[in-house]
């Protein structure tokens, strides 16, 4: 039976992982005959093929009116401030929190107190007063401390592997995706990426480093000064080609609730390496405990390309089988019943 679903998010825009998740869930649901709409405060994104985007204010009355007008049966918030509005809503619909997680407040020295307050408020005032809580990984379920949360993993098959544009390149291509500039740059590991480059460069001249991120050209200058080939604010097509061209993808992030770029890189054919923090051990076999261990693994794989290719193929197969949007929607629909 067809369901009417309203997703809510602060922002539908390129470069935001939550927008990618909502778009693919909505397309998969719509493809199965369900009616899906998306409500957001900011919209700078391609229009969905099978769902409508509605710009609305962060007020309970506005959300309730939209849900009532659409005759929504499920109102599912993916971000604040809509998380905090759900307990205020009352209508002929279920209210769900789809929790992508919040980085540890200690990773934000300037607004850690406010981030801690938001997390505590959700635990005390939001989760107990909605109909269901979804977590995107085992780690997030544990991190938010809500034992009744159900787990629905993200998919990765929205990214169709492209053929590398320079298959004859002899140098190992090592790259990352990260947000540039201030704000989240610390926990995303911007400085750690610079340190990794310098460490590897002292030991090998056979590596090329790449960076793609959302930010300004000025934000990319410290990386370009070290010879990194940097791309800013790329399109979805450019992003897909970028990942297909890499041999190794590295994530220097100190916290991730799922790490969608990591999984996207693996399904594109790159071997992915990340720190053994957050949800990263759930999504990649290539976890390390330190920067020197990461650098050592990169250099070792550079010296043994057959092993690199075997690990890349094993990783691609692993994520291709486990993380599919059809599986995500199957899990969601089982909860709907």
* Per-residue model confidence as pLDDT tens digits over 310-319: 999 999 999 9
Confidence of residue 247 (pLDDT cuts 50, 70, 90): very high
Q: Can you state the percent helix, strand and coil of the chain, rounding each to 5?
A: 45, 20, 35
CA dihedral for 182, 185, 187, 189, sign (positive or negative): negative
CA-nearest of 175, 302, 167, 332 to 248 is 175
Per-residue pLDDT at 16: 82
Per-residue pLDDT at 166: 63
The pLDDT of 304-324, averaged and rounded, is 93
Per-residue pLDDT at 167: 56
The pLDDT of 201-227, averaged and rounded, is 92
Structure tokens at 34: 């369900």
Domain with CATH 3.40.50.2000 in the chain: 4-152, 172-322
To 10 degrees, the CA torsion angle through 18, 20, 24, 25? Answer: 0
| DSSP secondary structure code for residue 275 in this structure | E
Structure tokens at 124: 């005390």
> Around Cβ 39, how many Cβ atoms within 10 Å?
25
The pLDDT of 28-55, averaged and rounded, is 90
Q: Where are the alpha helices (DSSP H) in 274-322?
A: 280-283, 291-302, 305-322
| DSSP secondary structure code for residue 88 in this structure | G
Per-residue pLDDT at 54: 95
Per-residue pLDDT at 52: 93
Q: What is the DSSP string of 89-135?
A: --SSSEEEEEE-----GGG-TTTHHHHHHHHHHIIIIIGGGSSEEEE
Q: What is the pLDDT of residues 7-16, one digit of tens each?
A: 999 999 877 8
Q: What is the pLDDT of residues 142-174, one digit of tens each?
A: 999 999 999 999 999 998 766 777 655 689 999
Q: What is the pLDDT of residues 264-289, one digit of tens each?
A: 999 999 999 999 999 999 999 899 99
Which residues are CB-neighbours of 3 under 8 A, at least 6 positions away?
A: 29, 34, 35, 73, 74, 336
**Per CATH, is 172-322 categorized as 3.30.160.20?**
no
Per-residue pLDDT at 169: 61
- Find the angle CA(291)-CA(293)-CA(296) to the nearest 5 degrees: 110
Per-residue pLDDT at 215: 84
- Which stretches does DSSP call E strand in 190-295? 207-214, 229-232, 248-251, 271-275, 287-288
Q: What is the pLDDT of residues 80-116, one digit of tens each?
A: 999 999 999 999 999 999 999 999 988 887 888 999 9
Per-residue pLDDT at 168: 56
Average pLDDT over the chain reads 93
Coil, strand or helix at 12 = strand
Task: Label the pairing between strands 229-232 and 207-214.
Answer: parallel
**Per CATH, is 4-152 categorized as 3.40.50.970?**
no
Per-residue pLDDT at 49: 77
The pLDDT of 25-37, averaged and rounded, is 96
């Amino acid at each position: 039976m067809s369901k009417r679903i309203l997703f809510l998010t602060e922002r539908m825009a390129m470069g935001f992982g939550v927008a990618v998740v909502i778009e693919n869930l909505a397309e998969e649901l719509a493809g199965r005959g369900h009616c899906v709409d998306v409500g957001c405060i900011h919209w700078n994104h391609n229009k969905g093929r099978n769902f409508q985007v509605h710009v609305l204010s962060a007020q309970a009355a506005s959300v309730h009116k939209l849900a009532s007008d659409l005759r929504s049966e499920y109102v599912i918030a993916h971000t604040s401030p809509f998380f905090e509005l759900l307990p205020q809503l009352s209508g002929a619909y279920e209210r769900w929190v789809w929790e992508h997680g919040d980085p540890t407040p200690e990773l934000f020295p300037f607004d850690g107190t406010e981030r801690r307050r938001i997390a505590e408020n959700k635990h005390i005032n939001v989760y107990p007063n909605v109909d269901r809580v979804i977590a995107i990984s085992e780690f997030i379920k544990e991190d938010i401390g809500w034992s009744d949360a159900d787990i629905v993993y993200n998919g990765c098959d929205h990214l169709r592997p492209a053929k590398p544009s320079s298959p004859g390149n002899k140098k190992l291509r090592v790259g990352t995706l990260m947000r540039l500039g201030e704000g989240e740059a610390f926990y995303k590991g911007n400085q750690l990426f610079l340190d990794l480059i310098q460490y590897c460069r002292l030991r090998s001249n056979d590596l090329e480093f790449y960076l793609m991120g959302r930010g300004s050209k000025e934000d990319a200058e410290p990386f370009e000064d070290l010879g990194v080939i940097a791309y800013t604010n790329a399109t979805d097509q450019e992003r897909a080609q970028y990942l297909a061209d890499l041999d190794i993808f590295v994530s220097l992030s100190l916290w991730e609730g799922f790490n969608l770029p990591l999984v996207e890189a693996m399904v594109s054919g790159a071997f992915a390496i990340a720190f053994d923090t957050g949800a990263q051990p759930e999504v990649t076999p290539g976890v390390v405990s330190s920067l020197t261990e990461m650098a050592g693994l990169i250099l070792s794989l550079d010296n043994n390309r057959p092993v690199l290719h075997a690990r890349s193929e094993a990783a691609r197969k692993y994520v291709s089988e486990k993380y599919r949007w059809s599986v995500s929607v199957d899990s969601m629909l089982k909860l709907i019943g």
